[in-house]
């Protein structure tokens, strides 16, 4: 069986840099670049929408790691009348389009106009928080490669099945040809007979000249193939018997589990009642906050209403972290990376999804993360909080805390020893806040 090959994939979300290039005044251009790496090959894909059609937009890869300062110009992107495009290209992982630049040096992507070697970026995105300010001055390498990948990056299972079929075809072919000497002899004889126009009449003669040794060799190969197939059948039967044994074991355990479940049923009911009471307390806290704000003649302005509306449709928590009071949290469910790339509601996407896309490897095990708002005494949002589930182990801390997830807290909505790594973001000043421990 063929082994699975290494595979990785990440997205670069493209956001508008220059206004005036949208399809219309009410439609903002959006899109992403996707990089997939498999078996020393890389697939570069671009998807954009709502961009004003033009044949002078270039697709750029921004390379800025380990001393590299290049912009790889893949070529112009062709848009349809609706301002959309979806294209893919294949290159060597270590040499993108003959540029002598490996894919691991890519830090971002852009859709841009290039005029006299001056780069005007319409849309751009990065996979690093340390974005170089002078990236538009990097050297431009034009590769103009238009090859479409098609189905090169097909699923592993299809590739394995293809390899199996190739082996079967090789076995069938080996049955037809008895030896290399005989094949060369047949080719030589057939060539002469073709020239004389007597090929058909001599095929039977050649077949009758097969030696007993050839027949013995064929019989031996047939027996060997039969033994191999029989061995595979025995393995399959053994696998089926093992599965049956597991099923019987599971059925035996079911009766025991039913008895055990009766014993813990009362405990579960108590937990549910406590959880219900806890949720009621949270709702009371919400009402208390609202009443307190009303007494202080506090009214939400348009900004607070904007953020509140973004939470519609998500499960809501209040003060689930004891040390973060007057906070509201929303649970964002994530089945796969595509949930985080949904741009149908662009404003919700920008606040709730986009900042967390690069943290998907830490999120996928728990299938959710939290987005929260911290309010001050005047019912104003002080900052936005992002929380990723996990234990306190450094292995669970996103990027070792380099991106701001330095605070770990337990939560009442997770199991024992589980909590969240939290990042505090001052959206008014565009700063990530790092809490300072007070001296005792």
Q: How far apart are CA 96 and CA 90, in angstroms?
A: 9
Buried-state track 71-85, b at ≥16 Cβ within 10 A, e below 16 = bbbbbebebeeebeb
Question: In Å, how far are 196, 213, 297 from 202, measured between CA atoms?
Answer: 11, 21, 107
H or E, element range at 333? strand 327-333
Better pLDDT: 190 or 77:
77
How much helix, strand and coil, in percent to the nearest 5, is found in the chain?
Answer: 40, 30, 30
For residue 181, the model assigns a pLDDT of 44
Closest CA to 431 of 410, 404, 408: 404
Summarised one tens digit per residue, pLDDT across range 356-406 is 999 999 999 999 999 999 998 888 899 999 999 998 888 889 999 999 999
Strand order in the sheet with 30-38: 85-92, 41-49, 30-38, 7-16, 118-126, 106-115, 57-63, 70-76, 139-142
Tokens 């609706």 appear where? 82
Query: What would the pLDDT profile of 189-223 be if each residue is shown by its tens digit?
Result: 455 445 445 444 444 444 444 454 555 565 666 66
Please give the pLDDT value at position 362: 92
- Tell me: pLDDT of 433 over 80: yes
* pLDDT(243) > 80: no
318 backbone dihedrals φ, ψ, rounded to 5°: -130, 125
Lowest mean pLDDT segment, chosen from 85-94, 115-124, 276-285: 276-285
At 262, phi and psi to the nearest 5? -65, -35
For residue 427, the model assigns a pLDDT of: 86
Round the CA-based radius of gyration of the chain to a whole number and report it.
32
Q: Could you tell me the sign of the dihedral formed by the alpha carbons of 174, 176, 177, 178, in that order?
A: positive
**Whether 329 contacts 387, CB under 8 Å:** yes
Q: Both tokens of residue 267? A: 């405990």
Give the Cα separation of 384 and 424 in Å (integer).
Answer: 6
> Interior CA angle at 75 toward 46 and 65, to 5°?
70
Return the pLDDT at 237: 62
pLDDT of 239 above 80: no
Q: What is the largest CA-CA distance in the chain?
A: 111
The backbone torsions φ and ψ at residue 139, rounded to the nearest 5 degrees and listed phi first, read -65, 140
Give the three-class secondary structure for 48. strand
Region 7-11: what's the mean pLDDT? Answer: 85
Q: What is the mean pLDDT of residues 316-334?
A: 88
Could you tell me the end-to-end alpha-carbon distance of the chain, in angstroms, rounded to an integer? 62
Between CA 242 and CA 238 the distance in angstroms is 6
- pLDDT of 224 above 90: no
Among the residue ranges 52-56, 190-194, 301-305, 352-356, the one predicted with the least confidence is 190-194
Instruction: Report, as an integer, the average pLDDT of 33-53.
Output: 91
Tens of pLDDT, residue by residue over 151-168, are 434 444 455 466 556 555
Q: Are strands 139-142 and 70-76 parallel, antiparallel or unpaired?
A: parallel
Report DSSP letters for 73-92, one per residue: EEEEPPP-TTS-EEEEEEEE
**pLDDT recorded at residue 9:** 86
User: Helix 199-208 to helix 180-196 angle, to the nearest 10 degrees?
Assistant: 150
**Tokens describing residue 117:** 């070697």
Alpha helix stretches (DSSP H) within 296-371: 302-310, 337-340, 346-348, 360-363
Q: What mean pLDDT do residues 352-358 have?
A: 91
Nearest alpha carbon to residue 71 among 135, 114, 127: 135
Which secondary structure element, helix H or strand E, spans residue 53, and what is its range?
Answer: none
Predicted pLDDT of residue 166? 59
Q: pLDDT digit string (tens) for 92-139? A: 999 998 889 999 999 999 999 998 888 999 999 998 888 898 999 999
């Amino acid at each position: 069986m063929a082994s699975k090959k290494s595979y990785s994939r990440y997205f670069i979300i493209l956001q508008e840099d220059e206004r005036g290039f949208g399809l219309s005044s009410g439609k903002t251009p959006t899109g992403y670049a996707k990089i997939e790496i498999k078996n020393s090959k890389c697939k570069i894909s671009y998807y954009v929408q709502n961009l004003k059609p033009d044949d002078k937009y270039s697709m750029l890869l921004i390379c800025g790691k380990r001393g590299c300062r290049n912009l790889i110009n893949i070529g112009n992107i062709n848009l349809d009348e609706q301002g959309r495009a979806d294209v893919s290209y294949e290159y060597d992982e270590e040499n993108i389009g003959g540029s002598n630049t490996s894919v691991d040096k890519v830090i971002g992507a852009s859709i841009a106009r290039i005029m006299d070697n001056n780069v005007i970026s319409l849309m751009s995105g990065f996979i690093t928080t340390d974005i170089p300010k002078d990236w538009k001055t990097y050297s431009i390498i034009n590769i103009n490669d238009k090859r479409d990948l098609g189905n090169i990056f097909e699923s592993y299972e299809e590739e394995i099945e293809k390899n199996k079929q190739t082996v079967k075809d090789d076995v069938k072919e080996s049955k037809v040809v008895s030896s290399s000497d005989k094949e060369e002899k047949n080719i030589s004889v057939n060539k002469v007979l073709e020239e004389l126009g007597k090929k058909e009449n001599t095929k039977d003669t050649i077949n009758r000249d097969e030696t007993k040794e050839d027949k013995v060799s064929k019989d031996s190969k047939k027996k060997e193939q039969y033994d191999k197939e029989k061995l595979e059948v025995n393995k399959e039967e053994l696998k089926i018997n093992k599965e049956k044994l597991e099923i019987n074991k599971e059925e035996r355990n079911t009766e025991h589990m039913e008895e055990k479940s009766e014993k813990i049923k009362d405990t579960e009911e108590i937990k549910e009642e406590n959880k219900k009471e806890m949720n009621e307390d949270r709702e009371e806290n919400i009402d208390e906050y609202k009443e307190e704000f009303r007494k202080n003649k506090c009214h939400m302005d348009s900004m607070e209403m904007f953020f509140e509306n973004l939470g519609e449709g998500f499960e809501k928590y209040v003060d689930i972290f004891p040390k973060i009071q007057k906070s509201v949290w929303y649970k964002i469910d994530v089945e796969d990376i595509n949930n985080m790339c949904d741009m149908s509601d662009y404003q919700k996407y920008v606040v709730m999804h986009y900042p967390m896309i690069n943290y998907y490897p830490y999120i996928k095990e728990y299938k959710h993360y939290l987005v929260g708002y911290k309010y001050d005494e005047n019912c104003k949002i002080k900052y936005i909080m992002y929380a990723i589930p996990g234990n306190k182990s450094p292995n669970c801390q996103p990027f070792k805390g380099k991106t701001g997830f330095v605070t770990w807290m337990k939560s009442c909505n997770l199991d024992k020893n589980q909590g969240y790594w939290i990042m505090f973001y001052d959206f008014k000043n565009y700063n990530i806040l790092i809490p300072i421990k007070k001296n005792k």
